[in-house]
Amino acid sequence: MAASLQDIQRRIASTKKTRQITSAMQMVSTSKLSQIQRHGGSYTVYADALHDVVAHLATAHINNVSGTLLEQRHVSKVGFLVLSSDRGLVGGYNSTLLKELMARITERQLTPDQVVILAVGGNGADFFKKRGFDVAYEYRGVSDVPTFTEVREIVKTVTTMYDNEVFDELIVGYQHFVSRISNEVHLEKMLPVSTEDLEESKDDSKYTADYEMEPSAEQILGVVLPQYAESLVYGAIIDAKTAEHAASANAMSSATDNAKEIIDSLGLQFNRARQSAITTEITEITGGMAALD
């Protein structure tokens, strides 16, 4: 019985240490989530303004879009930019995303030869490598609150590969941050840029007058459009990182709660075992005294 009590005590001590670790990790993830939400809020202002400019130029001034990121071409290969995490301890963040990506590939009846994977995050890269897909680009170690300067290599590589016709269409797959307790998978076609989407989202109230442009609207669009495509990719990375921190905070919160339940259960088990041991000792002492009498 004494050995059993010691075993329970060791389990309680071990679980308490685990709870301390998961609680600390939850606080760290929550802090990172707050930081990236502030950063993402300021970036959204720039992204929205850039979107309005591109929408106005692309839909109001351009008739011939050949040779730009707006050009629709025959799709021989589809690029998938997969935004996953480098580490675990994020609940179903990665598994849900990768399952949806595989479902989309199957739905479109794409073979591995028709798919080009661009992986940001180790989980996505390892997943598709094991399944025989061409991982043409891989980036690990994105910081917790990425700046545009840090991920410039990623966005430049993506747009350059599209320009060089490594793939003819780009689908970006990531977990979209909905709230602190909820994420949802987004699979968005980002390249070529859709003129229909731009037309639908254009706010005409911001542009009530005609403008004379120098240089031409076509030349301006040629400069602004790549920046817009880069902003879409960067915005998706920010969104994915926000969702990752939320998933991590939730996973660590659940782990902390589970550890507390285990500690309470072990404590009850320990008290019962100790009570049983005391009862047994009293019985033995009483029996011994009766034998002496």
CATH number reported for the structural domain that contains residue 194 in this entry: 3.40.1380.10
Q: Tell whether 263 is covered by a domain.
A: yes
Q: Are residues 187 and 63 in the same domain?
A: yes
Shared-domain flag, residues 19 and 133: no
13 and 76 fall within a common domain = no
Same domain for 148 and 105, yes or no, is yes
Number of independent structural domains in the chain? 2
Domain limits at 282? Answer: 2-24+259-286
- Same-domain check for residues 8 and 46: no
d(CA 42, CA 38) in angstroms, rounded, equals 7
In tens, the pLDDT along 109-167 reads 999 999 999 999 999 999 999 999 999 999 998 888 888 888 888 888 888 898 888 99
Residue 293 domain-assigned (yes or no): no
Residues 6+ apart with CB under 8 A from 112: 131, 132, 133, 134
Q: Domain for residue 208, yes or no?
A: yes
If asked whether residues 226 and 275 sit together in one domain, one would say no
What pLDDT is attached to residue 62?
55
Which residues of the chain register pLDDT less than 50?
Answer: 1, 208-209
pTM equals 0.81
Residue pair 77/114 in contact by the 8 Å Cβ criterion: yes
Statement to judge: residues 133 and 264 lie in one domain: no
pLDDT in tens, 68-95: 677 788 889 999 999 999 888 888 899 9
Q: Could you tell me which residues come within 8 angstroms of residue 43 by beta carbon, excluding any fewer than 6 positions away?
A: 148, 234, 235, 238
**Which structure tokens are listed for 41?**
């809020």
In terms of DSSP H, where are the helices of the chain?
2-60, 93-107, 122-130, 148-163, 195-201, 217-292
Instruction: Provide the greatest CA pair distance for the chain.
Output: 117
Q: Report the candidate in 168, 160, 119 with the shortest Cα–Cα distance to residue 141.
A: 119
The encoded tokens of residue 190 equal 């980002």
CA angle 119, 89, 14 (to 5 degrees): 155
264 and 222, same domain (yes or no): no
